[in-house]
Structures are given as structure tokens and as C-alpha cells.
Chain A
Amino acid sequence: MATPQSAYQEMLKGLWRDNPVFVQVLGMCPMLAVTNSAVNAIAMGLATFFVLVGSSFLVSSMKSLIPKPVRISVYVIIIATFVTVVDYTLLALFPVVHKELGAFIPLIVANCMILGRQEAFASKHTVKYAVMDAVGMAGGFLVALFALGAVREILGEGKLFGFSLFGDHFEPWVIMILPPGGFITLGLLLLLFNWVGERKKSFLAQVAAAERSRA
């Protein structure tokens, strides 16, 4: 078995290197639809967090009981159960948030990132690693949702978490909180991510070249 150090690494990889949104481009339907404000984005991120961690835990602890040919259906039913729990919990405790997110809470089921983690990771690893991986992936998803929601709210309304940032003479870019703004902001964020990755690669190549010439 691997050392505890690598369990920690399983968690970290979801935040940056294998970020589910920016690198793997998964789970976009819920992601674009609810990120017109930072609060909604965080609520969606936390709901997804609960569903992903819960179902990874359950799938990896039941993995020897699930028959291989019907495993996908079993995963989907497990995920749908957790989503139903989230749906009713939000309705009872935070009806305002539930109303804002609307039909997109049930649609967490169709988030391919969650099913992907069950098939690719939770069904093959022990409970501890599966949960760490789920925490990392869901954390990365939350970060991405927050980044998108914050950018859209700041530009689209001039506010963050409902507090005005720029004063009265700021003209909000209404397009940013409408659907096109979601597509364009995510496109630009992906572009930024590609650019940073590209820069890092060329920097490492330069370092390697310099070391080679010195040796």
C-alpha cells in the first residue's frame, strides 16, 4: 500500500493539476447555469461536494458487492439517492437558495464528473483514498465554480456577495450574468489556464536546457 503522503496527494491533484473543470472540462451543465452570482456558485459547489464525497464513500465501501455488468446503473442510483437527500435538505433549511438553483439541483445527477470519479477511481481504491480523491475533485470543482461566479458577479453587477465594489458610476456589463457571459467567461478562464500551463512548460524546458549547457 502507498504511504499516507500519497493519500494527501490524491486530494491535492483535484485542486490544480487534474482540476475537473479547467483541465478535464467535465460537469459543465450545472457549472454554467448557476454561476451568475458567487453565492449561488458556492451553494452549488457545496451540494456537489456532499454528493461526490458521499457516493465515493459508498461506492468504494460496496465495491465487492456490486456486480460488474450493472455497475454503472448502481452508481447512478447511489448518486441519485444522495442528490435527493441534498434536494430535500436544501428545501427544508434554505428555501431561498433552493428556489434560486431550481431545477439544477436534481441535475447534479447528470454531472458527468461525479459518475466519472466512481468509475475511474472510487470503484478501484480503498475507502480512504476514494474519499480523499472525492474531497480534492469536489474542492477543485468548488474553486472553479467560485472563480466563475465571482468574475460574473463582479463584472455583471459590480458586486461581490451582494456588496457593491465600484461605487455608483460603474456601468454593469449585464451580458455577464446572462447565458452568453457564462460561456465567454469560462472560455477565457480556460484560455488563462492553458496559457499558464504553456508558460510553465516553456520555463521548465528553459531550465532543463540551461542545466544541460552548464553540464
Chain B
Amino acid sequence: MDDLLWIFISSLLINNFVLAYFLGLCPFLGVSNRLETSFRLGLATTFVLLITALCAWFLNTYVLIHAPYLRLISFIVVIASTVQFIEMAIKKLSPALFKSLGIFLPLITTNCAILGLAIFATNRGYGLWEGLTFALGAGAGFTLAMVLMAGIRQESEINNVPALVRGTAFNLIIAGILSMAFMGFAGLFSST
């Protein structure tokens, strides 16, 4: 139980996917201009991450012991098609949910955070529950980073920022400062 809690906290704060591993930067810099959109994108990503952890566990346990060199290709194909199927199912079962989260799903599928999660979980030899906890923590961490970033960006729009600095350069420097702040969490588990 302690192990699972540690995995969750570590992937949420200390090794935040965006701010420490640089995974999922494209949506982090691209879509983070509105608070509400970022939050929903974060939820949708968490959902896909959970599915990914499930797929990766299944592939690692039943398929890839026989053919480890197919790891990368099978991860991509299986994750992308599973997400596609779930997208269709949601569209059929709950149009309201599809409207709020579904539009992001195709955008997320080939995101490096998704593939990164599958690869990290494999390299660390996580089982099913550990993988799912890892996915939940990583997704929550991604959402947290997105929401913080969107809040700062919304605030910065009404302030007087030089035109030359505006845009990606500005966002990257904000991300750097956020990342510095998150480094403080490394002290949480100094004894372990």
C-alpha cells in the first residue's frame, strides 16, 4: 500500500510528467491558453493514460515475452486502436461526455506522454495495480501542470508583456519557473 502511495505522489509532484520529464509538452504549450479547456484536456489525458497502463500491462504479460523487439510498434498500434474504439463507444453511449472530452481523444493518442508512460512502466517492471496508480498520478500531475500554466497565461494576457517576448518563448520561461518550483517537492521523501 505504501508503495502505491509513493508511486502516486512521485508521479504527481516529484517526477511530474511535464515539468520534470518533458513529456506531453505539445498540448502543454499549445492548448494551455484557457483554464477550462486545459482542465478538460487534463481529464481526457488521465483517462487515456489509464487505458494505456492497462494495454501496456496486457501486452507485456501476454504478448511481448515472446517478441520483445515488437514492443514499440505493438504499443503504438494497440493503444491507438483501443482509444479509437473507446471513443466510438462514448460517442454512442454518452454524447454529452463525448462533447466535453471526446474531441481531445485523437489529439492525445500519439502524445509522447502516453507512449512515455507505457515505456516507463515497462522499464520499471510495474504490475497491473502499480501501472494504474502510476497512470493516475501522471494524469493528475499533467492536469495540475496544465491548469497552473493556463492560469498564469490567462493572467499574463491582461498584463503588459513586450510583443517580442510573447508566445512560445514566454511560455517556456514560465514553464521553467514552474519546474523550479516543483523541484522543491523532491525533499518530500528525502529519507527513502
Contacts and interface: CB of A to CB of B under 8 A. Distances in A.
A209 B110 CA distance: 48
Contact of B76 (A25, A76, A178, A181): A76
A183 B179 CA distance: 8
Nearest to A76: B76
B180 A29 contact: no
B115 A110 contact: yes
A80 B183 contact: no
Given A103-B119, A106-B119, A180-B183, A80 B22 contact: no
A25 B73 contact: no
Contacts of A183: 172-173, 175-176, 179
Given A179-B22, A186-B172, A187-B173, A29 B73 contact: no
Given A103-B119, A188-B169, A110 B110 contact: yes
Contacts of B76: 76-77, 80, 109
B72 A84 contact: yes
B173 A188 contact: yes
Contacts of A191: 164-165, 169
Interface range for A = 35 or more
Give the one of B25, B167, B177 with max A CB within 10 A: B25
A76 B79 CA distance: 13
Interface in B40-88: 69, 71-73, 76-77, 80
Main secondary structure of the interface of B (DSSP, over half): helix
Contacts of B172: 183-184, 186-187, 190
Nearest to B19: A179
Interface in A21-35: 25, 28-30, 32-33
A186 B168 CA distance: 10
Interface residues of B, number: 40
Given A178-B183, A184-B172, A187-B173, A84 B73 contact: yes
Main secondary structure of the interface of A (DSSP, over half): helix
A87 B68 CA distance: 12
A158 interface: no
B123 interface: yes
Nearest to A107: B112
A29 B112 contact: yes
Contacts of B177: 180, 184
B170 A187 contact: yes
B26 interface: yes
B120 A103 contact: yes
Give the one of A88, A106, A181 with max B CB within 10 A: A106
Interface in A83-119: 83-84, 87-88, 102-103, 106-107, 109-112, 115
Interface in A120-162: none
Interface string B134-157: 000000000000000000000000
A180 B80 contact: no
7 contacts: A28-B22, A29-B112, A109-B115, A178-B183, A183-B176, A184-B176, A194-B167
